[in-house]
Amino acid sequence: MTNQPARGRVVLRDISSRAWEHPADRGALVALRKLKGFDTVLKAVSGLFNERAVRLVFLGSAVRADERQFATLHRLLGEVAETLDAPDLPELPELYVAANPVPNAHTLGMNKPFIVLTSGLVDLLEEDELRFVLGHELGHAISGHAVYQTLLQRLLTLSGVFASIPIGGLGIRAIVAALHEWSRKAELSADRAGLLATQDPATAFRVHMKLASGGLLSDLDQTAFFAQGQEYLESGDLRDSVLKLLLIENQTHPFAVVRAAELRRWVDSGDYTALLGGAYPRRVDDATATVTDAARDAARSYSETFQQSQDAVGKLVHDAAGFLGSAKVWFDEQVRRARGTE
């Protein structure tokens, strides 16, 4: 990590987390909450999860960033919070640096989220790249992702818990699968928050390139990286498409080339520039945002993704959607039918 001169950034006053939340993230969370037994599992795992104990692990084994330790990281987190105008959190999440050569970062906690960066990540990234990562993690915290991320981690690590929860192992597996799907979409949301924090797309793309390679920037080329991503997204026939689905089935994060491509698509759409210009949803309007709106936005997002996809499965779904009158029409009909239960 090296120091770089600060530059002016737009402070996004009163911005709602809906501004950076990917439509598919919100839609997947809506679907997750509707799963039979989800509330039971959430309550059961919340009772088993000792948040104080987890925090004590990092308090005792890692280094907490403040004005005297990892002061640059502490400052960056404060600047990111200012840029994202993060008042909904009673206080900034605690930030820890843990000894681990593998570059990684995560946000933990169900009631009081805290952020952990590995030493490998801090060593790998430059200051503005770390700003992107901190914006990513703070975006998770503001959006309330930490609760569900923690739930997924506990479900994956608690052996024998399935038998003790009334809905049974099959229901748990459905919830874990839904959590994985939501988690991958939530990462796309957090990437957008990270970009809004640093306000430099090239920096955001570099982070994904470095995390994919673990290498120095001098060994990387952005054009080649995006070409590689395009090859992955378009490659192969139906067999490769099925393989790609199987490969990510149990992954909490999309692959790096996919994340970079999705972030560039958001930038190219004009939405990112519009947000910086002040065209974003405000927190004052959050109370009027409905589950129906989230489901409709998710349906639109999936439909557009299938239309643009060069992947064999994506083309197949798009063709089927066209035959039925488009996926969006079908989803909208389901939303209209669900209005009475909202």
Give the C-alpha separation, 177 to 92, whole Å.
Answer: 31
For all residues of the chain together, what is the average pLDDT? Answer: 78
137 catalytic, yes or no? yes
Range of lowest pLDDT (39-43, 95-99, 193-197) = 39-43
pTM beyond 0.85: the answer is no
**What is the architecture of the domain spanning 17-218?**
2-Layer Sandwich (3.30)
Range of 193-207, 246-260, 275-289 with top mean pLDDT: 193-207
User: Which one from 94, 129, 137, 262 is the annotated catalytic residue?
Assistant: 137
Asked whether the predicted pLDDT for residue 116 surpasses 50, the reply is yes
pLDDT at 73: 98
Q: How confident is the model at residue 33 (pLDDT cuts 50, 70, 90)?
A: low
pLDDT at 98: 98
Please write down the long-range contacts of 22-25, taking CB distance under 8 Å and 24 or more positions apart.
Answer: 22/185, 22/186, 22/188, 22/189, 22/192, 22/301, 23/294, 23/297, 23/298, 23/300, 23/301, 24/185, 24/188, 24/298, 24/301, 24/302, 24/305, 25/182, 25/185, 25/186, 25/188, 25/189
pLDDT at 239: 79
pLDDT at 247: 80
Q: How confident is the model at residue 220 (pLDDT cuts 50, 70, 90)?
A: very high
pLDDT at 314: 46
Asked whether the predicted pLDDT for residue 169 surpasses 70, the reply is no
pLDDT at 331: 46
Q: How confident is the model at residue 312 (pLDDT cuts 50, 70, 90)?
A: very low
pLDDT at 163: 44
